[in-house]
Amino acid sequence: MAFLPLRSVDIPASTIDAYDAWLESIEGELSAPDCDRNELCRRILTEIYYPQYIGVDPATLPDGARMALLQMDPRNISLEPEYYADIDREKYARTKPLIWLWEMFDKSPLGENVHLGVLFRRLLAHHIFKRCGKNFKAFHFVKLSYGYNLDVGDGVVIHRHVLLDDRGGIQIGDGSSLADFANVYSHTHALHDGRDIELPAVIIGRNVRITYHATVLAGVTLNDYSMLGAMGVATKDIPSGVVALGIPATPKLKRPTPGEAPALPSSTDPLAES
């Protein structure tokens, strides 16, 4: 196989400056003790989607335009986790505006921009997650549940269309990655009644790989350097250094440890934090 590290992409310096200034202003507001996160979300989304209506009296607009403007404010919408009886309302009141901002950013013309998107989501993750380490990377259309039950280490990468159901808690160790369309669940329903629920946490160790369209069920631990193969469903713990495949996923291969793997040159991530 070929050694193909990530390459840098040239973006005009003036554009980088504009992105950085915008992100710094948002970070400054979020870091203020008196920040109104709902109002921050409403303002940013209105600027992105409907700048022509800034300062316009909504009563003068057609009904459809007024309905669209209402969606910019997280106080006017409901998200699925709000209907769960185990929700911590105080914690979710802080994460909901930023989760809505994250999701609506992704659906906007800005969302497919990898450079800006990774930086924007990283900024929000530090204010949403229980813990977020350095160099976190999330691509577009990642879905969170509560957000406040996510404990994420350094260098974690979450690819497109990943579901992180942190209802019971998800811990992701340093250097781990989740590929496109992976699902991680931390709640489960009893067979006799869907309202009878358990909330066992999921533990994803260090340098774990969860590959395309794979699913991790509640209460499972993927130990350090393990791997869940494409389309696999992890119903039981996966030992360290093991590659588990299939439905249900069972150990099939041994993954080389860092000491056993071929030595490759070091490389840099162009989107790493300075």
Q: CB atoms < 10 A from the CB of 18, how many?
A: 12
What are the contacts of 147-150 at 24+ separation with CB within 8 A? 147/92, 147/95, 147/98, 147/99, 148/88, 148/91, 148/92, 148/94, 148/95, 149/186, 149/201
Per-residue pLDDT at 197:
96
pLDDT tens-place values along the chain, 274 residues long: 889 999 999 999 999 999 999 999 999 999 999 999 999 999 999 999 999 999 999 999 999 999 999 999 999 999 999 999 999 999 999 999 999 999 999 999 999 999 999 999 999 999 999 999 999 999 999 999 999 999 999 999 999 999 999 999 999 999 999 999 999 999 999 999 999 999 999 999 999 999 999 999 999 999 999 999 999 999 999 999 999 999 999 999 999 877 888 888 989 999 999 7
Which domains are delineated in the chain? 78-254 (2.160.10.10)
Pairing of strands 202-204, 221-222: parallel
pLDDT at position 261 is: 80
